[in-house]
Structure 1
Amino acid sequence: MINVLFAAGDANWADYQLHLAAAFERQGLVVNLQTSLAPDQTDYIIYAPSSRLLDFAPYTRCKAVLSLWAGVEKIVTNTSLTQPLCRMVDPGLTQGMVEWVTGHAFRYHLGIDANLEAQDGKWIRSVPPLASQRSVTVLGLGALGAACATSLARLGFQVTGWSRRPKQIKGVTCHAGPDGLTKALRSAEILVLLLPNTAETTNTLNADTLAALPEGAFILNPGRGTLIDDDALISALDSGQVAHATLDVFREEPLPKTHPYWAHPKVTVTPHIAAETRPGTASEVIAENIRRGESGEPFLHLVDRANGY
């Protein structure tokens, strides 16, 4: 019997209980899944920041902490957490992100907003370029960034990607490091932010990097609110350096009603819906990692503590 503690909040328990049980059964795992277990009896912890669990030190038997969230910034710095930590890379979450990014990229590419605003009875034809004539840059080439970059490249866009360390993705021009960031930004007619939230990525978009973009660039941020210096972005929108920004994530959520983004004519706010962990597919990822732990195989999506993701 494998004892698994579900330390992810009451609301998540209602969503996940049956999905996890079914996933464990499909893996042939005999699991005792509980919302309360003695630390010395716990083999694995399924975790979300909504949990009241803060001290992992007593869980000396625990083989891994399995996060239900893709972002682990709220747990990775916990000094009591010495067990292996796995972040969530969920096929449903990935597909949702690809659909959000692709949809909004095409919205900008085709000029859909401008066409809607121009419906005043005047027959003015404005033909958009083909995707092959449009440059899109994706900052962050992890699982989500790579999936979005690949999808956009398959649709014909000229796609550039940037990451801290060198990567290779078919159909994508990849840059890395500080010099590579400037190169990636210079071609970004549409810029997609999918970097993790770390000290190194805070304010990646600031006055200097925004100035490196082509004039009239469009910005999509489904990554992390901390990636953008909000004041610098508003200034760039006001000057025309940035034509429009669609933002799904913010430093404070829900976004306060008084925040200038709500009223800005060049900002579209979406309420953190670009990608959501789906209980059905996420449960399969959790079950597979427990199977791996029991078989002595490497865990999937193991967090690098030094890098924070």
Structure 2
Amino acid sequence: MAILFHWNSATPEIWHNAFAAAGCGNDIRSLADPGNVAEVEHAVVWAPPAGALKAFPRLRYIYSIGAGVTHVTLDPEWPSHVPIVRLQDRMLVLDMSCHVIHWVLHFHRFYARYARQQDQGVWLHHRYPENAERRVSVLGLGQTGKDACIRLRDLGFPVTGWARSPKRVEGVRCLHGDENFDTVVRAADILVNLLPLTDATANILNASVFDRMPKGSFLINCGRGGSVDDRALLNALDGGHVECAALDVFREEPLPADSAFWTHPGVFVTPHTAAPTNERSAAEFIAAQVKVAMDGGRPAPIVDPERGY
């Protein structure tokens, strides 16, 4: 039961130690030296080359070294019959919540305006509302979305969460389904997107959504770049309906040098760093799930192929 491991930025010692500590053995293979491919039953990967995984005929599970799985599923040749285990890491969840809180406070207290004023040498106060008067809507109520909602709730913000299916978070108004999406958008003084990219969420943040958000609202996107209609967002920013946007994810990464997002005064770009994989905690989690599978159990969480997450 060999393990294929592929991540170009990995610290091999961390992963080998985690696999050994979990009791997974030490038969760790690489794409450069896979050995007998029929012996490989587990693939722990981030962004494997297109077509690479189909070479392993007895693969039982693919483990994503990251919360997203499109780095696997966008490969037209990936073995789609093999279940994908998604990373569910405590440090990733905490890092994402910290990112969201940072930008909520940044926009809530008008720090973006002060940054522009500093460039101009302008001393001018902007009165911000109480936390209880600034409505935050969070799209996506998975593990990261729920945690962000709870932390924002505890800061006194009125939080509305939205998901495709019913969810419950104490102290948070939770809505679901297409029939409630309009309500969530209209209540978004600050809109946080944590949705995965699926057929249903592609371009979900479009001109219609931006028009329905309150004038002077803010967008924080740390879900997936393909969820945002880029031109519609730029138009909303240019027209002043959306005041600012903090974007951590993009349709094309790295963000092309000629993208208008780089130079737009209302856009804050971060290079997909909202919740980078913490190697030690991720290695511990994945190694534990590999061991579950080796012992005959079913690792978790398994990606639902129809929903895409």
Give TM-score, length-normalised by structure 2: 0.91
CA contact (8 A) 1:138 1:160 kept: yes
1:17 counterpart = 2:12: yes
1:234 counterpart = 2:229: no
Structure 1: which amino acid aligns with 2:141?
A: L
1:65 counterpart = 2:62: yes
Q: Counterpart in 1 of 2:79?
A: 80
| Secondary structure of the corresponding residue to residue 299 of structure 2 | coil
Q: Counterpart in 2 of 1:300?
A: 300
CA distance in 1, matches of 2:216, 2:123: 25
25-34 or 104-113, larger mean C-alpha shift: 25-34
Structure 2: which amino acid aligns with 1:86?
A: V
Q: Counterpart in 1 of 2:271?
A: 271
Q: Counterpart in 1 of 2:192?
A: 192
CA distance in 1, matches of 2:266, 2:301: 37
Q: Cα distance 1:124–1:52, how it changes in 2: closer, same or farther (>3 A)?
A: closer
Q: Counterpart in 2 of 1:172?
A: 172
256-265 or 173-182, larger mean C-alpha shift: 256-265
Structure 2: which amino acid aligns with 1:25?
A: A
Q: Counterpart in 2 of 1:101?
A: 100
The Cα of 1:121 is off from its aligned counterpart by: 7.4
- The sequence identity of aligned pairs, in percent, is 35
Structure 2: which amino acid aligns with 1:92?
A: M
| Secondary structure of the corresponding residue to residue 220 of structure 1 | strand
CA contact (8 A) 2:72 2:78 kept: no
Q: Counterpart in 2 of 1:220?
A: 220
CA distance in 2, matches of 1:282, 1:240: 41
Q: Counterpart in 1 of 2:152?
A: 152
170-179 or 289-298, larger mean C-alpha shift: 289-298
- 1:93-122 C-alpha deviation (Å, 9 max, x unpaired): 222211111111100111112234345777
| Secondary structure of the corresponding residue to residue 75 of structure 1 | helix
| Secondary structure of the corresponding residue to residue 114 of structure 2 | helix
The Cα of 1:125 is off from its aligned counterpart by: 4.2
The Cα of 1:58 is off from its aligned counterpart by: 4.0
The Cα of 1:259 is off from its aligned counterpart by: 1.4
CA distance in 1, matches of 2:89, 2:176: 26
Q: Counterpart in 2 of 1:28?
A: 23
RMSD after superposition: 2.0
CA distance in 2, matches of 1:250, 1:156: 30
Q: Cα distance 1:140–1:283, how it changes in 2: closer, same or farther (>3 A)?
A: same
The Cα of 1:230 is off from its aligned counterpart by: 0.9
Q: Counterpart in 2 of 1:206?
A: 206
The Cα of 1:123 is off from its aligned counterpart by: 6.2
- 1:236-259 C-alpha deviation (Å, 9 max, x unpaired): 111111011111111111211211
CA distance in 2, matches of 1:257, 1:83: 37
Give TM-score, length-normalised by structure 1: 0.91
CA contact (8 A) 2:117 2:123 kept: no
Q: Counterpart in 2 of 1:117?
A: 116
The Cα of 1:165 is off from its aligned counterpart by: 1.0
CA contact (8 A) 1:139 1:161 kept: yes
Q: Counterpart in 2 of 1:92?
A: 91
Q: Cα distance 1:241–1:121, how it changes in 2: closer, same or farther (>3 A)?
A: closer
CA distance in 2, matches of 1:123, 1:29: 61
The Cα of 1:298 is off from its aligned counterpart by: 2.8
CA contact (8 A) 2:48 2:71 kept: no
- 1:108-166 C-alpha deviation (Å, 9 max, x unpaired): 11111223434577765434222222110111111222221121112111111111111
Structure 2: which amino acid aligns with 1:216?
A: G
CA contact (8 A) 1:66 1:85 kept: yes
The Cα of 1:280 is off from its aligned counterpart by: 0.9
| Contiguous gaps of at least 5 residues in structure 2 | none
Q: Cα distance 1:55–1:22, how it changes in 2: closer, same or farther (>3 A)?
A: closer
| Secondary structure of the corresponding residue to residue 175 of structure 2 | strand
